[in-house]
Amino acid sequence: MSNRQTAVASPKPPSRSTSRSTSRRQRHAGKWRRGWFIAVLAVLSALPMALHRHLPNSVGNLGSLLDTFLPWVGVAIPVLGIAALVRRSATAGVALLVPLAVWGMMFGNALIPGKGGGPHDLRVLSHNVDAANPDPARTATDLLAANADVIALEEITSADLKIYKKEFAEKYPHVVSRGTVALWSKYPVEESESVDVGFAWTRALRAEISTPQGKVAFYVAHLASVRVGTSGFTSNQRNDTIKQLGQQIAQEKLAGVVVMGDFNGTANDRSLAPITAGLRSAQGAAGFGFGFTWPAKFPMARIDHIMVRGVVPTKAWVMGSTGSDHRPVVAEIRI
């Protein structure tokens, strides 16, 4: 028997190409294994948007609170998108398509340019001028620059009313004022009346304006304010005013109707249904973007509206700050 040991062949090391291929497979598999927590959050972020109508108002009016700021739920999408990129997670990236699709279906229309268009017969403007406005004369100058045919103002004090009447006198010979709301028109006002929405003082009016194209009923309203506090979203008084104003508008006999004012709620808010159900938002039909109007320095919600029935919005936009805590809304309409 030989004393020599039999040599054992050492294993052949893997080639560089095989090593690179294995590394790529591992990285690819890792992209799908990572970021599951982010993916779950992405899917969950779609639920408040898709199911917001199912959140009841019975507890603190939370449903209306979510409705009011609903577009902002979409802020979660870019935040989670950055997290998915940092984690290099393909799973999270695919999951983000769910909230992105839901948000796009709900609000994508607001980002489509070129809606509306065509000739218009009237340009109308509405603005909550703020009772604490330190410079109403400056606000009046800003509003005159819009060259509207009809101007509606809300939250106007008796002292400030004198200033606006003086500033608007040359261009707007026809004026209607009731309580804290007022309307100026280049065209004759055939009829006007206060509209009772359940306050001790007047916060809504109706004016019948004779335009070259025919009579149009204009409503100017400032609905009750809402509050967000420990008890939730306090809006019961506003909701009562909505019902009363909605009944008045529903009974309007003229075919052309324009409703303007500070509704203290967005078009998404289910509580505004008694008004919005029979009307069309000028911003939604002919505006670009969300048209947020409040607060003026950094608008987060569109609570100031121009809504119509029996006329066609052709263009709508929001003006810049005028010194009020709201921004003015403007629309062009065809009768």
Name the strands in the sheet holding 150-154, side by side, starting at the edge strand that comes first in the sequence. 174-178, 181-185, 150-154, 122-128, 329-334, 312-318
What's the confidence (pLDDT) of residue 33? Answer: 73
Token duo for residue 256: 């052309």
Return the minimum-mean-pLDDT range out of 52-61, 95-104, 132-141, 239-248: 52-61
What residues does each domain of the chain span? Answer: 16-111, 122-334
pLDDT tens, position by position, 202-228:
999 999 999 999 999 999 999 887 666
For the chain, give the mean pLDDT.
89
Closest CA relative to residue 184, chosen from 208, 165, 198, 200: 165
Q: Which run of H or of E encompasses 257?
A: strand 257-262
Widest pairwise Cα distance in the chain: 128
> Does the structure show a pLDDT above 80 at 16?
no
CA 268 to CA 72: how far, in whole Å? Answer: 12
What's the confidence (pLDDT) of residue 113? Answer: 84
As a whole number, mean pLDDT of residues 164-193 equals 98
C-alpha angle 302-204-199 in degrees, rounded to nearest 5: 105
SS3 2: coil
Q: Which residues pair with 306 in a beta bridge?
A: 260
Q: Higher-confidence residue: 66 or 322? A: 322
> Does the structure show a pLDDT above 80 at 249?
yes
What's the confidence (pLDDT) of residue 200? Answer: 74
What's the confidence (pLDDT) of residue 25? Answer: 56
Residue 253's pLDDT band, with cuts at 50, 70 and 90, is very high
Closest CA relative to residue 314, chosen from 291, 277, 288: 288
Class (C level, CATH) for 122-334: alpha beta
Residue 238's pLDDT band, with cuts at 50, 70 and 90, is confident
Token duo for residue 309: 């029935």
CA 165 to CA 136: how far, in whole Å? Answer: 11
> Does the structure show a pLDDT above 80 at 160?
yes
What's the confidence (pLDDT) of residue 116? Answer: 86
What's the confidence (pLDDT) of residue 63? Answer: 82
Residue with tokens 């004022």: 177
> Does the structure show a pLDDT above 60 at 185?
yes
CA 236 to CA 208: how far, in whole Å? Answer: 30
What's the confidence (pLDDT) of residue 95? Answer: 96
Residue 271's pLDDT band, with cuts at 50, 70 and 90, is confident
SS3 52: helix
> Does the structure show a pLDDT above 80 at 181?
yes
> Does the structure show a pLDDT above 70 at 27?
no
CA 262 to CA 293: how far, in whole Å? Answer: 10
pLDDT tens, position by position, 59-106:
767 888 888 899 999 999 999 999 999 999 999 999 999 999 999 999
As a whole number of Å, the CA-based R_g of the chain is 29
CA 196 to CA 161: how far, in whole Å? Answer: 21
Predicted TM-score (pTM) of the model is: 0.86
CA 154 to CA 324: how far, in whole Å? Answer: 11
Residue 321's pLDDT band, with cuts at 50, 70 and 90, is very high
> Does the structure show a pLDDT above 80 at 23?
no
What's the confidence (pLDDT) of residue 101? Answer: 97
As a whole number, mean pLDDT of residues 236-255 equals 87
> Does the structure show a pLDDT above 80 at 291?
yes
What's the confidence (pLDDT) of residue 13? Answer: 61
Residue 167's pLDDT band, with cuts at 50, 70 and 90, is very high
Q: Higher-confidence residue: 6 or 313? A: 313
